[in-house]
Amino acid sequence: MNQPNQPEQLSQPTDAPNCESPLVNLDQVRQVQPATLSTDKAQRMAEFFRVLADPNRLRLLSALANRELCVCDLAAIAKMSESAVSHQLRILRTMRLVAYRKQGRNVHYRLANSHVIELYHAVAQHLDELEN
């Protein structure tokens, strides 16, 4: 069990395969290096995935992958309070994963764009394939 304020460590097998010889193949390194994420972009992606690492936010995204919904409907679907849903939606909105429109006193949310929908469906399909 992790101590408070210590980062979670993933267990790794002690017999993990590695290179037999420590020689670097410079041709391969030169080919791949330009396509490797910059440190800045990797940091932004890590923040993005950290936002998606919350089960409540993922449940809200799964509902919104089907249709636009108001906060009260999302609260009923997720079995959460409206204020808790609003808090989670605010985080998702900050990362530009959801967008909203006002209709009178109600606020209706939807996934921000087709990339978010595709990402959601790709991960869901991947997990379904792992179960089979």
In terms of residue numbers, what domain contains 119?
40-131
90: CATH: 1.10.10.10
**CB half-sphere exposure, 26, CA atoms < 13 A:** 0
How far is residue 88 from each of residues 74, 75, 78, 108, measured CA to CA in Å?
11, 11, 11, 14
pLDDT single digits (tens) 49-72 = 999 999 999 999 999 999 999 999
What was the pLDDT predicted at 22? 77
Is residue 125 one of the residues assigned to a domain? Answer: yes
Evaluate whether 100 touches 108 at the Cβ level (below 8 Å). yes
pLDDT per residue rounded down to tens, the chain (132 residues): 445 555 555 555 567 777 777 788 889 889 999 999 899 999 999 999 999 999 999 999 999 999 999 999 999 999 999 999 999 999 999 999 999 999 998 899 999 988 888 988 899 899 999 987
For the chain, how many structural domains are there in total? 1
pTM score of the predicted model: 0.73
Domain assignment present for 26: no
17 Cβ contact partners less than 8 Å away, ≥ 6 residues apart: none
